[in-house]
Structure 1
């Protein structure tokens, strides 16, 4: 008799490896390489995360950048806040970069360079990012000021 597999069965289903979409090259204040990562989660989990002062983000996926639903929501939030609507890929990369880690010594200047739309997009994309509280605080002071 053939076995019927139902969704309630506790059989592990193998999931395919996630496709690498981005490369994060993160450095310390002295310019030394902290690491190259393939996801925000890897950046955040780095044992040297608190030493990161800059992360460059490059799209490395195959074919053109097609946004995930989460990235689309973040870009839409940024555009709604005044971000450039015609530069979706570039805007997405800036948002992803804003989710990494910003050097606390020049946090205000760095976030001002990103701008309110990108910071709002970053909070939409990664509301639980390690530096989300700093982004939220900066937004409150920049919008109020």
Structure 2
């Protein structure tokens, strides 16, 4: 009986080294698991350098600075790229953004920027390096709507609008920029049909603050009046043909009817 008990105790105590080996195995596995995540983050920066995967001239973070004001009483917001501006929580409440160059001096236009500058100023950017023109293009790319803030689409020249439409077609308001650039949208003023304004029919789409005093007219090249009216008629289609001149005062923003 005593011999049997001794053999039983020996049998139970023999496997005791195995748990020790078993604990060393999870430690090795844990080290391996730690090694894999540590390798993963290091791979990220390697293939995610600023501008990676983008074409030269894209608005890389830090190349420009955008100081944006709001239509409400929200404080100004400092952002570092167009993408950040468009993704901002208060984007639809922004009034305008002041754009400044924050990259290395002197300013050297990237291929896409050079193309935008050339489109905006086909006769040449003058004595400067084109930076002022590029800042105007980017400022239009931050716009939220037609009328918000100073220096909007209505005040921009055709070349700058064309450059902005080509540089930032993915902007939330890209179609609006293209409309102004193509002459499908115009503000108050005098517009040559077939040049600044597309032929066809236009309608007042956004009345201005003084729209109750709105007057408009369509005239031939010799100055004779084809049609004219006020706010009531502005809400209907106004037909315009190439070679005519369309003039609007205190009305607001007109849009092409399709």
> What is the TM-score normalised by the length of structure 1?
0.77
Q: Is the 8 A contact 1:52 1:103 kept in 2?
A: no
How much does 1:124 deviate?
Answer: 1.4
How many residue pairs align between the two structures? 132
Q: Answer with 14-23 or 116-125: which moved more.
A: 14-23
Computing the radius of gyration from Cα coordinates, the structure with the larger value is 2
How much does 1:100 deviate?
Answer: 0.4
More strand by share: 2
Structure-1 residue corresponding to 2:178: 136
1:50 aligns with 2:92: yes
Segments of 5+ residues of structure 1 without an aligned counterpart are 1-10
Structure-1 residue corresponding to 2:47: 14
How much does 1:38 deviate?
Answer: 0.4
RMSD: 2.4
Structure-1 residue corresponding to 2:109: 67
Structure-2 residue corresponding to 1:126: 168
How much does 1:31 deviate?
Answer: 5.8
Segments of 5+ residues of structure 2 without an aligned counterpart are 1-42, 52-60, 187-195, 198-245, 247-258
Instruction: Detail structure 1 runs of 4+ shifted over 6 Å in the superposition.
Output: none
Q: Is the 8 A contact 1:28 1:52 kept in 2?
A: yes
In structure 2, relative to structure 1, the CA distance for the partners of 1:78 and 1:55 (3 Å cut) is: same
Structure-1 residue corresponding to 2:139: 97
Identify the structure with bigger relative contact order (alpha carbons < 8 Å, sequence gap 6+).
Answer: 1
More helix by share: 1
